[in-house]
């Protein structure tokens, strides 16, 4: 059975512009209890910022949270898949990049959703796939974009 990314994703996730401040996004993450915020410029997905990005790039550098813009610290390129792709593509991206979330875009590269490891575990109800994916994401490795490891 083929499952499309659009069938599993959380639709219309919170997002921000590159000109939002770290302080604003930190407050959104805290209030919504999320660890990732996609970054959209106009209607195009341009990056993502994670709680790890904030910790390393802001707190680790003692940057001013009310003056540092998300565009300065966001992870690029954002790890994403197409909404009409098989969910196996999202799983492979998670495995390759050792991340827990993949952004989902439509044919115009507009953000339409987000697939998390929890979405895969909850909705596919495949304990073996979940176990393997958690193992692959968790093992030490050499990631090409360390700031996207979240």
Calculate ∠ Cα 130-135-136, nearest 5°: 100
pLDDT, tens digit, for every residue of 74-88? 999 999 999 999 988
Domain boundaries, the chain: 5-139
**By mean pLDDT, which of 43-47, 69-73, 107-111, 140-144 is the weakest?**
140-144
Q: How far is residue 32 CA from its own chain's centroid?
A: 15
Output 137 or 20, whichever has higher pLDDT: 20
Instruction: Fold for 5-139, please state it.
Output: CBS-domain (3.10.580)
Output 141 or 15, whichever has higher pLDDT: 15
Is the model's pLDDT at 58 over the cut of 90? no
With a CB cutoff of 8 Å and minimum separation 6, the contacts of 78 are 38, 39, 45, 46, 47, 48, 103
pLDDT for the residue 145? 43
**42 Ramachandran zone, left/alpha/beta (phi>0; psi -120 to 50):** left
Give me the phi and psi of 83, to 5 degrees please.
-65, -25
Confidence band (pLDDT; 50, 70, 90) for 90? very high
Cα–Cα dist 51/54, whole Å: 5
Mean pLDDT over each residue of the chain, to the nearest integer: 84
Element housing 46 (H / E):
strand 44-50
Task: Count the Cβ atoms, other than its own, within 10 Å of residue 106.
Answer: 14
């Amino acid at each position: 059975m083929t499952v499309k990314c659009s069938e599993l994703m959380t639709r219309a996730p919170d997002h921000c512009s590159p000109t939002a401040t770290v302080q604003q996004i930190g407050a959104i993450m805290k209030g919504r209890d999320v660890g990732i915020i996609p970054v959209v410029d106009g209607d195009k997905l341009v990056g993502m910022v994670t709680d790890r990005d904030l910790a390393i790039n802001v707190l680790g550098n003692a940057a001013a949270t009310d003056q540092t813009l998300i565009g300065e610290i966001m992870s690029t390129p954002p790890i994403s898949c197409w909404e009409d792709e098989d969910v196996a593509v999202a799983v492979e991206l998670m495995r390759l990049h050792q991340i827990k979330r993949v952004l989902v875009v439509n044919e115009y590269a507009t953000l339409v959703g987000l697939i998390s490891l929890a979405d895969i575990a909850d909705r596919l109800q495949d304990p073996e796939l979940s176990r393997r994916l958690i193992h692959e994401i968790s093992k030490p490795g050499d990631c090409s974009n360390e700031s996207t490891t979240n």
